[in-house]
Structure 1
């Protein structure tokens, strides 16, 4: 995989050897795209690992990279709200643009009337569907990628994602049905819950973004939910502050751990979430350890 993080002074989109350049908004989709097409294109990632996509701001150079790309891949569904204007500019100027969420069966947020939940990537089976759709898009819109080698590489990776889904099923199988409850930092694991038969019974920030501010009443109610459900853990985000989750855990009388999961960004090298496959496996291991 050849994924470049376009952070501030990121790589120029001119590709060595005349390869096409594919620009991808998120680190998660950047890794997936790189695995799908291998060395057939230069993959430039706008958001580096550890970024919170809800408050990330692209540099002028990164916006220019998006405008000059041979293809642009986004998460879609309102996920990259701060990049919306730059994405639409690139699209309007003729850059072939693909929203990965368009390749999956979506669900709506449970609370708040926010509409479609964009966090499909917490379910590796849906990611496999999205990945297959990304390949169809790239091989159609970028002629240099419409070759047998790319298809072979892509098919193998899509199959790996389906194997990861099966592996997660096995990892979580030790958790009894009655214990498959989650308290999360914000509404990010809806697709995970949908796929693996969990119930998200409460969220610290009642929104699909980490930028919300829960009221004192919301937090007090959540403490009650935690104690009534007997939830042993609050699942926080590795890419967002954990202070609220830690405060809630300390206020509960039932003994609650704060367990960090990779949610909206890959982790740094050595973190256990350096690639999409690693982050999915790490999350499953951490959830199984906390609830099993």
Structure 2
């Protein structure tokens, strides 16, 4: 990481006049996760040059900046990232960039600290998976509209109109999610996943959520963790557990094997999108499509 920071600062300092990306007069925006990239595309559309660092299925907790990323970051007008140590290995880079007059914006700054879920086991003391409460994403949408309007006042009305349209879509999504979840009996609303990415989802939509790993996938699950969780699954008679698209299957498969070895059958209910969206061009490649897919997968498997 120190090497990446050094390369970044050297690259920036060598360019007194920063070369822009596409030379078309539009703001150059760099985003980290696919979820944030999707949001900027909805609000900014073709009025922005948007480059995302991470692709489908990429784990932001473990992501390391490449040489190409360093160039994108150095040429950005604005950088939007999750914050709360979601992009753990990029934190040093973002902190250094502010001193180089490159604006970095953590979308988590849109939320009051009192509304965040704390954790004594994670470096930031807050759960960074804030997008799994649609209300949080509504607040973040308005925040991003504000930041873009401040940076590009000529197109402020465009951003505000797109933001308003997207907020309406999010309200429809929230209602649809609640309707689907209401078909699942409350006693079956226990979600077991690879890591603790769904706590905001559980808090917002009435699920008990248990992750095999901690909030960051950098935290390894031990043998005792697997045994304890397998006992919990048997005690609660849970029908299905879930893998995640950005986390290796082996941890959940080990959990399934531990449960099955104790004469209780538990199925892998499907793959959920947690820290990254699905492939571009698919429904799951958007925030709204991802959320609908996840909820349908969870409810169908646990029903």
TM over 0.5: yes
Q: Distance in 1 between matches of 2:78 and 2:152?
A: 7
Corresponding residue for residue 26 of structure 1:
33
The answer to whether 1:203 aligns with 2:211 is: yes
Q: Distance in 2 between matches of 1:187 and 1:271?
A: 25
Corresponding residue for residue 243 of structure 2:
236
1:247-266 correspondence runs (5 A): 247-252=254-259, 253-258=263-268, 259-266=270-277
1:1-292 correspondence runs (5 A): 14-105=21-112, 106-109=115-118, 112=121, 115-146=125-156, 148-200=157-209, 202-205=210-213, 207-252=214-259, 253-258=263-268, 259-269=270-280, 272-292=283-303
Give the CA deviation at 1:260.
1.2
Q: Is the 8 A contact 2:227 2:258 kept in 1?
A: no
Q: Distance in 2 between matches of 1:238 and 1:87?
A: 26
1:64-119 C-alpha deviation (Å, 9 max, x unpaired): 32222111111000100111122122222112221111112443245636511010
Please list every run of 5 or more consecutive structure 1 residues that lacks an aligned counterpart in the other structure: 1-11
Q: Distance in 2 between matches of 1:46 and 1:13?
A: 17
Task: Identify the structure with the greater helix proportion.
Answer: 2
Structure 2 length-normalised TM: 0.86
Structure 1 length-normalised TM: 0.89
1:253-292 C-alpha deviation (Å, 9 max, x unpaired): 3321222100000112466421111111100110110122
- Inter-CA distance 232–99: structure 2 relative to 1 (3 Å threshold): same
Please list every run of 5 or more consecutive structure 2 residues that lacks an aligned counterpart in the other structure: 1-18
Give the CA deviation at 1:44.
0.9
Q: Distance in 1 between matches of 2:238 and 2:121?
A: 23
Q: Distance in 2 between matches of 1:134 and 1:158?
A: 12
Q: Distance in 2 between matches of 1:271 and 1:153?
A: 21
- Inter-CA distance 13–193: structure 2 relative to 1 (3 Å threshold): farther
Q: Distance in 1 between matches of 2:137 and 2:89?
A: 23
Q: Is the 8 A contact 2:221 2:251 kept in 1?
A: no
Please tell me whether Structure 1 or Structure 2 has the larger radius of gyration of its CA atoms: 2
Q: Which moved more, 1:70-79 or 1:137-146?
A: 137-146
Q: Distance in 2 between matches of 1:270 and 1:220?
A: 40
Cα root mean square deviation, aligned: 1.8
SS in 2 for 1:273: helix
